[in-house]
Amino acid sequence: MNAPVLPGYWQEQGIERVLLDEATIAARVRELGEQLCNELDDGREIVLIPVLTGAIIFAADLMRAMPTRVRFSLVSVASYGAAITSQGAVRSGALPANLAGKHVVIVDEILDSGATIRLLRKEIGELNAQSLRVCVLLRKQNEKALSTPCEMVGFDIPDIFVVGYGLDYDGSFRNMPFVGVLNLASIGMGSKG
């Protein structure tokens, strides 16, 4: 297979290569949506809980890949600033209300240290949902990510810093329609850390 073409604009912004192109992501998101419908469509309400901010693009596409009644309830967790390594997870704002008896799916764009998902699974796990799943688009191949319980994973990827499709570096690149690898030299960082 040919390597996906890297659009010139994004190359100029410091993107080194495409890791997952738009078509590949779209096909996998459709599969995840179908899987969720098959597993959960029993008449109970389904609530997707995207983790702000990075999960919004994935969650918006995922919900449109689910031809059933779906609600959205947002939760906000901060873990990264201008750094590229995890700094732990802190929830800001309220937990979603009225989840009792419903099928709940926590949706995040990437599983890295697992701090975000562990925190939310614990907190949301106390809200008496009928079922609770975690669905992430990407999971990094590192020990912490792989040991974090997670029911649905779109893609397992190398343990490198990626941006696009909701993922940012210091607030930028969320609107890049594919997942790409940032050239760390271009942001003044030689290696991860």
54 binds Mg ion (CB under 5 A): yes
50 binds Mg ion (CB under 5 A): no
Which position's Cβ is nearest Mg ion? 54
79 binds ligand IMP (CB under 6 A): yes
Question: How many CA atoms lie less than 13 Å away from 38 in the CB half-sphere?
Answer: 6
Residue 111: its H or E element: strand 103-111
Residue 64: its H or E element: helix 56-64
Residues annotated as catalytic are: 112
By a kind-dependent CB cut-off of 5 to 8 A, residue 61 interacts, out of Mg ion, ligand IMP, none, with: none
166 binds Mg ion (CB under 5 A): no
49 binds ligand IMP (CB under 6 A): no
Residue 105 phi/psi, 5-degree rounding, is -125, 115
Query: Distance (Å, rounded) from C-alpha 178 to C-alpha 18?
Result: 7
Among 68-76, 93-101, 108-116, 184-192, which window interacts with ligand IMP (CB under 6 A)? 108-116
Residues 6 or more apart whose CB falls under 8 angstroms from that of 106 comprise 49, 51, 75, 117, 120, 121, 124, 132, 133, 134, 135
Query: Interaction with ligand IMP in 117-156: which residues (CB under 6 A)?
Result: none
177 C-beta neighbours (distance < 10 Å), count: 14
By a kind-dependent CB cut-off of 5 to 8 A, residue 89 interacts, out of Mg ion, ligand IMP, none, with: ligand IMP
Contacts with ligand IMP, residue ranges (CB under 6 A):
51, 54, 79-80, 86, 89, 108-116, 161-163, 167-168
